[in-house]
Amino acid sequence: MPDLEKFLPTLKRLSKLDKLSENEISNQFRRNHSVEPVISKSELCYASFEVKIDDLNFLLTERPISYLNRHWGRCSNIQSHANSLGIALPLYIGVGTLSSAIHEIKRCENPLENSNKWLFENFSLEIAIAYFNKYFIKSESLKNYKTIIFEAIEAFYLGYDHISIMSLFPVFEGGLRNLLVKFCDGDNTNTSADRFEKEIRKLIITWGVRQLPNFDWHPGKGYDIETEVDFFTHLNPQCDVINSTRFFFKNVIYKPTGGINEGSFNRHLTLHLLNQDFNEPSNFVRIFLALTHLTFAESLMNNNVPFFWEGVDDNDRRIASFISTSGDAIFGMRRKEISKLGLKLY
């Protein structure tokens, strides 16, 4: 039996204790394996222990991962609260501000209606163009769809809500597939939601392991992949954001719907027109925000894509102004003339 494998039962047992101590770790290894581990404290994951036995290095958190999930703030937790609103976390808004906003929205009498309003208050044409210029056209995952994305932005702000929303759903799926193929050995023919979710999970673990190059074992490894993912969300903020993307993907946009024809934002319900809210204008912002999560994940592996939010610059404003001016001229006139022609579409 390889040395690591023989230690797994002890490591698993230790990782589930309410609160670890150096004495407990030493006692367990002495009793179970007749070895004397070298133990040192670490600041990783809030508080943890580095355990060395011969050439093997283990990392044990002082508290179990389940405790950290309950007591420490994560983007993953905020996303869990935002899922019922159909919102992928806007990555240009601070975590504290975002957490407070989601909390306040969910306290309202009509959370979904208020979330629609909040999205428009916290998104703009300028932000959309900034993402297009600085992220989407530099992305290996999305660059082939740049014209579709720009036309969708333009269409939305010219008043063509339905076209803009519907056009971005396949872009999201294509971009996600490209991301996973290029950076995570994904399947380039995949259309399965389950496989997509597993590949996103693999991406989290792949990135997380890179942050622990000198360890042979960490919580979850070898016995529970969800615990392992949760461990990495506490270890590394980028893993946490990608996990929030996974939560949104699994529990919102690609959530299995069965025969239930309701829900604020879901690919199946929207594309098959099963949802009465398929034409909700704020769904454009929702699907656009989902695209920004793809470029965030890619930025970890593609230096051409900025990691941080770079804001709106003068060039973004010029392009936005062009679209806005066109919209002012076309949008009002178009709908007014359509109404005069007796077409009751809006």
Nearest CA to 242 out of 280, 282, 288, 207 is that of 207
Distance CA 324, CA 326 (A): 5
H helix intervals, the chain: 3-15, 22-33, 65-71, 75-82, 95-107, 111-121, 125-134, 146-157, 161-184, 193-210, 225-235, 237-248, 267-271, 283-299, 314-340
Q: How high is the pLDDT of residue 208?
A: 96
Evaluated on CA atoms 219, 222, 224, 228, the torsion sign reads positive
Residue 227 φ then ψ, to 5°: -65, -40
Q: Cα dihedral angle (75, 243, 305, 214), rounded to 10 degrees? A: 100
- pLDDT tens sequence for the chain (346 residues): 458 899 999 999 999 999 999 999 999 999 999 999 999 999 888 999 999 999 999 999 999 999 999 999 999 999 999 999 999 999 999 999 999 999 999 999 999 999 999 999 999 999 999 999 999 999 999 999 999 999 999 999 988 888 999 999 999 999 999 999 998 888 899 888 899 999 999 999 999 999 998 899 999 998 999 999 999 999 999 999 999 999 999 999 998 876 454 556 888 888 877 776 777 899 999 999 999 999 999 999 999 999 999 999 999 999 999 999 887 667 667 777 778 877 777 6
Closest listed residue to residue 67, CA positions, set 126, 16, 9: 16
CA torsion, ordered 137, 138, 143, 149, to nearest 10 deg: -30
For residue 261, the model assigns a pLDDT of 47
Q: How far apart are CA 294 and CA 191, in angstroms?
A: 17
Rounded CA-CA distance 78/71 in Å is 13
**Predicted model pTM:** 0.91
Name the 3-class secondary structure at 327.
helix
Q: What is the pLDDT of residue 325?
A: 86
Query: Residue 344 burial (CB < 10 Å; 0-12/13-18/19+)?
Result: exposed
- Residue found by looking up tokens 């239930």 in the block: 260
**Residues 295, 307: Cα–Cα separation, whole Å:** 9
pLDDT score at 40:
96
- Residue 329: what pLDDT? 67
288, 168 Cβ separation under 8 angstroms: yes
**Distance between CA 146 and CA 60 in Å, rounded?**
45
DSSP helix/strand/coil, 109: coil
Question: Token pair of 142, please?
Answer: 């999305």
